[in-house]
Chain A
Amino acid sequence: QKEVEQNSGPLSVPEGAIASLNCTYSDRGSQSFFWYRQYSGKSPELIMFIYSNGDKEDGRFTAQLNKASQYVSLLIRDSQPSDSATYLCAAFTSGTYKYIFGTGTRLKVLA
């Protein structure tokens, strides 16, 4: 079992819809969770991070964390074609000081 798992997609949503991206993790010692967006051929750029159970909102993005279920999600409201990219979920454990990434979910927003 991979430490951080994501559905590779592609996830296709129409423009203006809500895109829901999911991630599960296996290490209960993971403390912080990060969502990065990566365009083809580019390096990952941070969208947001979360470390407390519940929801965290930033503009069109909402991250959700459920530590009991070891589940993290990212909601993108009013999806735009420019949101089309691969979204990487990462878990950080202070015991190991490592960020462990999932394989990423490819999102396609259809105009």
Chain B
Amino acid sequence: DTGVSQNPRHKITKRGQNVTFRCDPISEHNRLYWYRQTLGQGPEFLTYFQNEAQLEKSRLLSDRFSAERPKGSFSTLEIQRTEQGDSAMYLCATYRGGNTEAFFGQGTRLTVV
């Protein structure tokens, strides 16, 4: 257990529905990242926050995706009007700073049917 908690662990949804995932970081980590991973690929960067500020969004993050980190604590990632191509593992990672590692949560596996 890295101390980064993601919920839910699994989500099955019908195409066109909205889904929201939550990440609770390690408390002293001010940077929080969202990644997406599909089978046979490495994690792909989606977005990251420093405290409550969203500093960068990947072009992979279409208008259907939105992420928030109110008060610089937990973060949510919402996908609107889900598509089958959104099926993936969504990973949250947090980072303290300096030459240190990012700690990953357990991930949320999304299946769009």
Interface of A toward B, CB cutoff 8 Å: 4, 6, 8, 31-32, 34, 36, 41-46, 49, 51, 88, 90, 92, 96-104
Contacts and interface: CB of A to CB of B under 8 A. Distances in A.
A99 B93 contact: yes
Interface stretch (B59-67, B70-78, B79-87, B103-111): B103-111
Give the contact-size bracket for chain B: 20 to 34
A43 B107 contact: yes
Interface of B: 2, 31, 33, 35, 40-45, 48, 50, 55-56, 89, 91, 93, 95, 99-107, 109
B99 A44 contact: no
A97 B42 contact: no
B89 A43 contact: yes
B42 A49 contact: no
Given A8-B40, A34-B101, A43-B104, A97 B31 contact: yes
Nearest to A103: B42
A46 B103 contact: yes
